């Protein structure tokens, strides 16, 4: 397993394209805000001849889901997330306005809900789901080998905000 990180949108959110082996990949937290950012992700996936199998969301705050529709328009793949954040996902466009951002509401019809300790397999890679509520009710991390994709649960020397709707210190 290898991955590439893309820093996207005004908040510098980390979007990951994870090469899972066997020419398969997943996109974690597609927060792309504009055509340029979307193009960089798509160009990378195509240049590596990867086939996206899923979107994995660590949580559903607007800055982590801005590019969901772009990915779904280009690859008809399921979106995995914890059900406790479904309301956040459905209201993401409204929450974005609170931060002065305008986003397209995610058109997600193929949600697959994950729970603590679930195992997901894509290509040759297994991801263990770790429930980490606090930044949001449904925050999760995805552990693949020694690599932890933690969204906004952890930062260098700190934790993600807990004062947003659904957060809890």
Quick: pLDDT tens for 20-34: 999 999 999 999 999
List, in order, residues 6 or more apart from 70 with CB less than 8 Å away. Answer: 30, 32, 38, 41, 42
Q: Is residue 157 very low, low, confident or very high in pLDDT (cuts 50, 70, 90)? A: confident
**pLDDT value of residue 81:** 98
Task: Check whether 43 has a pLDDT greater than 80.
Answer: yes
Chain centroid to Cα 23, Å, comes to 20
List, in order, residues 6 or more apart from 146 with CB less than 8 Å away. Answer: none
Q: Which of 62, 57, 73 is nearest to 112 (CA)?
A: 57
């Amino acid at each position: 397993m290898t991955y590439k990180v893309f820093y996207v949108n005004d908040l510098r959110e980390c979007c990951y394209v994870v090469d899972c082996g066997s020419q398969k990949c997943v996109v974690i937290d597609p927060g792309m805000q504009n055509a340029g950012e979307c193009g960089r992700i798509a160009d990378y996936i195509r240049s590596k001849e990867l086939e996206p199998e899923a979107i994995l969301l660590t949580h559903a705050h607007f800055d982590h889901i801005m590019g969901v529709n772009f990915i779904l328009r280009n690859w008809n793949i399921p979106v995995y997330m914890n059900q406790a954040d479904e309301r956040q996902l459905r209201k993401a466009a409204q929450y974005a306005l609170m931060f002065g951002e305008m986003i397209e509401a995610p058109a997600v019809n193929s949600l697959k809900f994950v729970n603590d300790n679930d195992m997901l397999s894509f290509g040759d890679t297994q991801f263990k789901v770790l429930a980490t509520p606090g930044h949001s009710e449904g925050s999760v991390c995805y552990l693949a080998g020694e690599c932890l994709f933690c969204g906004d649960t952890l930062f260098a020397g700190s934790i993600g905000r807990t004062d947003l709707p659904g957060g809890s210190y």
